[in-house]
Each structure stands twice: as structure tokens, then as C-alpha cells.
Amino acid sequence: MHIHWTEEAEGDIDSIESYLEGEKLDHETIKSIINPIILAPYRLKKHPRSGRKVPEINHPDIREILHKKYRIIYVLSDEEPKKIHILNVIHGRQDIQPFLSQIWQRFLK
């Protein structure tokens, strides 16, 4: 299995990092928060369906894993059975609706 980070997911990581910088956290603290988020999806390589279905979508191939306060949303695709696409990384307090609209348009048309 290959983990593929979409541009949106990479942008989410950049946004989280920028937010933490704005909170005046030092570089080491920021990395201690960001790096585990980035590494979390790699456990899916052995068990790609181990994440739960995203409750707001309830589609069997749109799933998520939770890492502390973050929801890491990914998709499994029949067209690319050896790839896991990381779609978004969302803080648990964020409004998920804008992300769901994007996911729907990109993958569930």
C-alpha cells in the first residue's frame, strides 16, 4: 500500500503549522505536534479499512482515523487498490461541512 497525500491534505498540514506558529509555539513543539499527524496514516498500510467510515458521509470507501484532536480523512479507490489517498486533516472543532462538499465533488459524483 502506498500513502498519497493530496494537495488539500498537505495544505491542511501547512495551515495547522501556521496556526501553531501564530500561537507562538517553538519549532520543536510544533514538530512534536505535526510529525505524529503525518505519521499516523502509515499504520493503514497493513489494515487500510481499520479507520471508521466518516459518519457524516457513511460511504464505505471514505474513512478516517483519529489522532488526538485531528480527523485524518482518506479514501480507498477501486481504480487504485494499492493506494490510500489522504484527503484532509481537520481539527475536531472545525466545521466539517465545507470539507464534505469538496470530498463529495471530487470522489462521490
Residue 108 CB neighbours (<10 A): 12
Low-confidence ranges of the chain (pLDDT < 50): none
Spell out the domain ranges in the chain.
Answer: 2-108
pLDDT of residue 59: 87
pLDDT of residue 7: 95
Please tell me the distance from the alpha carbon of residue 23 to that of residue 73, in angstroms, as a whole number.
Answer: 25
pLDDT of residue 108: 64
pLDDT of residue 85: 95
Q: What CATH architecture is 2-108? A: 2-Layer Sandwich (3.30)
pLDDT of residue 107: 67
Within 8 A by CB and 6+ apart from 100, the residues are 54, 56, 57
* DSSP reduced 3-state for 21: helix
